[in-house]
A and B are shown apart, each in its own frame.
Chain A
Amino acid sequence: MDVAMGEARERLLGRAKREGLTTIGYDVLASPLGPLWVAIGPKGVTTIHYGDEPSQSELRRLVRVYGPGVVPDHRRSSALARELDEYFRGRRHTFDIDVDLSGLTPFQTRVLSATAKIPFGAVSTYGTVARRAGNAKASRAAGGALNHNPIPIVVPCHRVVGANGALVGYAGGLDAKRKLLAIEGADVARRR
């Protein structure tokens, strides 16, 4: 981007922020898994999306909860960028940054909260996560909720695998899931 254009944008966004028109700041971060579109709202990280653009459905969720004031903001993403970088280098096992699951269904929220408790390096199954979310029979629905996890990596849905140890699926692709488990040194056969 042209320097003058970039400076003009910074000033514009500063003015919009002072007027209370903006709510969420987003950025695109480079990672070993390719670009990540990330968004941070007033309560914490709302989105980590594989790719350099969010899906329309994810944007609709953000707009439903926080309104249209979703704007580019490099500064706001810096803490998340640092933690992700440390994680990818194997120097961080838990994330300190707050996550914001607003706008999800109660079941999705329970599934993701249960998933967030699976420790670094361990794996669990869809059935176990469903049980911990309060419905042991809902392993397929738990899989659906995890597939739509808006904050992968930080909410570690990659640590959930099939009952037979198969990786099954991942929104970022099975390669990404394999890489994340490799970073963590997870033994997929050793389930919790």
Chain B
Amino acid sequence: MQNDPLTFGQLLERHERELFAYALRLSGQRADAEDLYQDTFLAAFRAWPPPRRGNERAWLYKIATNRAIDRERRAKRIVANVDDLALAAPERDDVTLADLAGAIETLPAGQRAAFVLRKVQGLAYAEIAMALECSEEAARARVSEALRKVKAAVA
């Protein structure tokens, strides 16, 4: 395991790429993703220090997820841009990205975050639980429910 980050720069260099990708996948819009990425790291800098023993990754996802959900509640809409999503998710079989983007977009914010954290970002359930501030069982349940809905939508 890496040492705990001592500086903003270390935190940024270690995690900014995946957080930027996560922001893109969550919001679907490049401009929104940039805002979310900036807001997440600024909030992390203000709240310094991060939790110890390598938990800073889940901490950043938690900040990003909460901000994305807040933003969505305020805006009441998230429109996925297929071009941006194409950068984020590999095209699979006969399901088009547009289908997938549409399906993900219809998920409630909490389920969408759980789905993206697990299926796109590849986080462990323990990390998802930390990021979403729920139990591991609840995290599994959210991912599984999201997966069921996405499968149904693209079937």
Q: Give chain A's interface residues, CB within 8 Å of chain B.
A: 2, 4-5, 7-9, 11-12, 15-16, 19, 21-22, 26, 56, 59-60, 62-63, 68-72
With A59-B10, A68-B49 already in contact, 7 other A-B pairs whose C-beta atoms are closer than 8 Å: A2-B20, A5-B16, A8-B34, A8-B38, A12-B38, A68-B8, A69-B8
Query: Quick check: A11 and B34 within 8 Å, CB to CB?
Result: yes
Q: Give chain B's interface residues, CB within 8 Å of chain A.
A: 3, 6-10, 12-13, 16-17, 20, 30, 34, 37-38, 41-42, 45-46, 48-49
The closest CB in chain A to the CB of B4 belongs to A56
Q: Of residues B16, B20, B38, which shows the largest number of chain A Cβ atoms within 10 Å of its Cβ?
A: B38
Query: Quick check: B16 and A26 within 8 Å, CB to CB?
Result: no
Q: How far is the CA of A38 from the CA of B146 in the complex (A)?
A: 47
Q: How far is the CA of A15 from the CA of B8 in the complex (A)?
A: 13
Query: Quick check: A68 and B42 within 8 Å, CB to CB?
Result: no
Query: Quick check: A71 and B49 within 8 Å, CB to CB?
Result: no
Which chain A positions have C-beta within 8 A of B3? 56
Query: Quick check: A5 and B46 within 8 Å, CB to CB?
Result: no
Which chain B positions have C-beta within 8 A of A22? 8
